[in-house]
Amino acid sequence: MMSWGMVFALLGVAAAVGLAGMGSSKGVGIASEAAAAVIADDPSKFGKLLVLQLLPGTQGLYGLIVGVMVLLNIGILGGEPVSDLTTGLSYFAACLPIAIAGFFSARSQGRVCATGVNLTAKRPEESSKAIVSASLIELYALLGFIVSFLIVINI
């Protein structure tokens, strides 16, 4: 029988991977929809727009890294199985920063990237400014990732 600690640890993994992944898929979708219209008119802009389409996807990767780290520690992919509730709740709490930050920042980043796509469509030489603007939001995803990472390695 699976302990309650293991259940909460796995719920944390699901939150980190699921919420950050959902935010990323929404953000990438928003940016890609905007880019598709531009590329249909001018395929030569594909390279400049690709970075803007990919940026919101990083949050999903951060969530996946935290999720795998937890799985490596709780007896699923290695480590000792979690048997006590306190440890399981600790892993659950450790996953929340990237789950929440990843979900919201990826969606916001997708909107900023879509605006950057529009800027690049009109003024291709300004694409680096669009990328910098979108990268500012990345900071908050990184903060969530770093906090989750630090908590997981200290449990």
pTM: 0.92
Q: What is the mean pLDDT of the chain?
A: 95
Give 11's pLDDT tier (boundaries 50, 70, 90). Answer: very high
Examine the pLDDT at 1 and tell me if it is beyond 90.
no
User: 53-90: per-residue pLDDT in tens?
Assistant: 999 999 999 999 999 999 999 999 988 899 899 999 99
User: 93-117: per-residue pLDDT in tens?
Assistant: 999 999 999 999 999 999 999 999 9
Six token digits for residue 113 = 């990237």
Per-residue pLDDT at 107: 97
Examine the pLDDT at 35 and tell me if it is beyond 80.
yes
H-helix segments, the chain: 4-41, 46-54, 58-73, 85-122, 127-153
What mean pLDDT is predicted for residues 29-45? Answer: 95
Per-residue pLDDT at 78: 84
Contact 118, 130 (CB under 8 A): no
What mean pLDDT is predicted for residues 109-127? Answer: 95
The one-letter amino acid code at 118 reads N
What mean pLDDT is predicted for residues 24-44? Answer: 96
The one-letter amino acid code at 78 reads G
Examine the pLDDT at 5 and tell me if it is beyond 80.
yes
Phi, then psi, of 74 in degrees rounded to 5: -110, 15
